[in-house]
A and B are shown apart, each in its own frame.
Chain A
Amino acid sequence: MILTGNHAVSYGVKAARAEVVAAYPITPQTQIIEKLAELIAKGEMNARYIRVESEHSAMTACISAEACGARAFTATSSHGLAYMSEMVFWAGLGRFPVTMAVVTRTLAPPWSIWNEHTDILAQRDSGWIMMMCESAQEAYDTAIQAFRIAEDERVLQPVMYGLDSFSLSHTAENVDLLDQGVVDGYLPRLDPSKLPVYIDPDRPITFGNLLGPDRMMEFRHLIKEAFDRAERVIDEAAAEYSKIAGRPQTGLFENYRCSDAEVVAVATGASSGDVKDAVDGLRDKGVKAGMIRLKTIRPFPGEEIKEAIGGVKVVATIDRDYSFGFGGILGRELSAYLSGDVFRYIAGLGGRDLTIEDFEGIINGALQRAEEGKGDAEEVWWGLKEVE
């Protein structure tokens, strides 16, 4: 089937038999929830669509639905996510296994509807598992796997996954859909009795009440342990899915031609395919290049990546995000694990397009800086123009 990234998510959520969809429209995400609303209205999907007046309420409705034992989904983007943020933390710290698609979009001002990953990464300490999709196919696959990971008894944390604005959300590609029976076998119905918070009138509980300084750390530690276990659960979910789908899947990260690489680029999201094409092109020219694609950002697979590319001399990280006063978020985080030179590139902010030539330039640039012995202290803002 030919589907946009957005509609691939909708069909994934349908296949996962989400029971509650609560969402508020925002460009470039709106297609996701429009399609779900249509599927529900036509009776093709058995779920309740809750129209809410804001993203804050959308997440509140999803949390409440999960607390009643219903599988819940929402989608948002940039300002909607920022507005939702308080309840994003409630879902993460309250351990409600909601899943959410985030179409990554630049935060204003100045106003923009184009791609940047800073919106999703700004939620990285909220207790959510975080992923980034590379293709419409992966968006469909991830929509299904996200529920399985979130609801796994070893995890029980919400999962959000990002799609690059327009270049993935609105681009239509070939997507293979799975038979409903196959998905049902992979993702059984949610068993409410396993949920950390399950509101059952016969066993009344209170959630969200005051907890003193003498007890709080222990509950935070439980979430830490869930994230420790999540790495394994994510890889298992991917491995089992690849069996039912007959297609390879990526759990934590993808190792593309790194085994003998002398230079490795690290990136995430929809540009990853362009990076791979750049890697292939460079290999044709005799440059031993490779790529690490971050699929999962929380839990951050730093140790595993270190194991995969710890021996590589030159690493170039490419961030489509920025933390002021710190740097590109993923590059900075990864360099904490690696001992060699990590050349950090900031590229494509505000939706500026990145081509195969850009990625070749970045990889070659990192190699050259390493040869010149320049060290990796300075980050590079790729393609920066003079401000008039």
Chain B
Amino acid sequence: MFVEIRLHGRGGQGIVTAAEMVIEAVTLQDYYGQSIPIFGAERRGAPVTSSARVSDRPIRRHSQIYNPDIVAIFDPLFVYRQEVMAGLKEGGSIIVNHKQRPDIQKFKLFVVDATRIAMENGLVVAGWAVVNTAMLGAISKILGIVSKESLEKVVRKRWGGDLGERNIRATLQAFEEVS
């Protein structure tokens, strides 16, 4: 197994954290992971990408990802932007945070209303729904190798107490709901 994932979001939305949690989770399943950050300055609100590799063998390469197998879109407004589909492999998957099912024919489409899930769990900071844990749940489900127990562990490691529990709920809810 060798899967490359690209995450699209806005600076401040936690896409790097989400990528890191994805690979922490796959590591608990005895896979190897690599999270590749935004190269350069991250500006709040600006469109940014980060990416991750998941493999059943150690990952040696450090180049950037140009032809992902999966694209995860954290912000509904980005769905129809050219750059989010760029290089996506034929037969690749798109996981999008959206209320409705956007009209995308070329790729396998998975939708999750991560914004709603975040709001329902009180994950709002300065008016922004914090969707990274919900998206973590959705991505993990599509990867198909991550157990719920691993997700719980990974999220709990980052956030303790009530905040941790709410994030876990958001993660697992998205894991169930994504379709």
Residues of A within 8 A of B (CB): 2, 4, 113-114, 134-135, 164, 166-168, 170-174, 270-274, 276-277, 351, 353-356
Contact = CB atoms under 8 A, between A and B. Distances in A.
Contacts of A135: 60, 62
A67 B60 CA distance: 39
A274 B63 contact: yes
Given A2-B20, A172-B20, A174-B33, A276 B60 contact: yes
A164 B59 CA distance: 16
B63 A114 contact: no
**Dominant SS at the A interface?**
mixed
B37 A166 contact: yes
Nearest to B35: A172
Contacts of B27: 2, 174
B37 A173 contact: no
14 contacts: A2-B20, A2-B27, A164-B62, A166-B40, A171-B36, A172-B37, A173-B33, A173-B34, A173-B59, A272-B60, A274-B61, A353-B64, A354-B63, A355-B64
Contacts of A274: 60-63
Contacts of B35: 2, 171-173
A21 B59 CA distance: 32
| Residue from B36, B37, B39, B40 whose CB has the most chain A CB atoms within 10 Å | B39
Contacts of B59: 173, 273
Contact of A170 (B24, B32, B37, B66): B37
Nearest to B59: A173
Given A171-B36, A174-B33, A273 B62 contact: yes
Contact of A2 (B24, B60, B64): B24
B60 A277 contact: yes
Interface string B52-87: 000000111111101000000000000000000000
Contacts of A351: 39
Contacts of A4: 37
B23 A355 contact: no
Interface string B37-52: 1011000000000000
Nearest to B25: A2
B106 to A, nearest CB: 24
Given A2-B20, A2-B23, A113-B40, A273 B60 contact: yes
B24 to A, nearest CB: 5
A173 B35 CA distance: 7
Contacts of B20: 2, 172
A53 B103 CA distance: 56
B61 A273 contact: yes
Contacts of B64: 167, 353, 355
A167 B62 contact: yes
| Residue from B23, B24, B34 whose CB has the most chain A CB atoms within 10 Å | B34
A174 B60 contact: no
A353 B60 contact: no
Given A4-B37, A170-B37, A355-B63, 7 more contacts: A114-B39, A170-B36, A171-B35, A172-B35, A277-B61, A355-B66, A356-B61
A4 B23 CA distance: 12
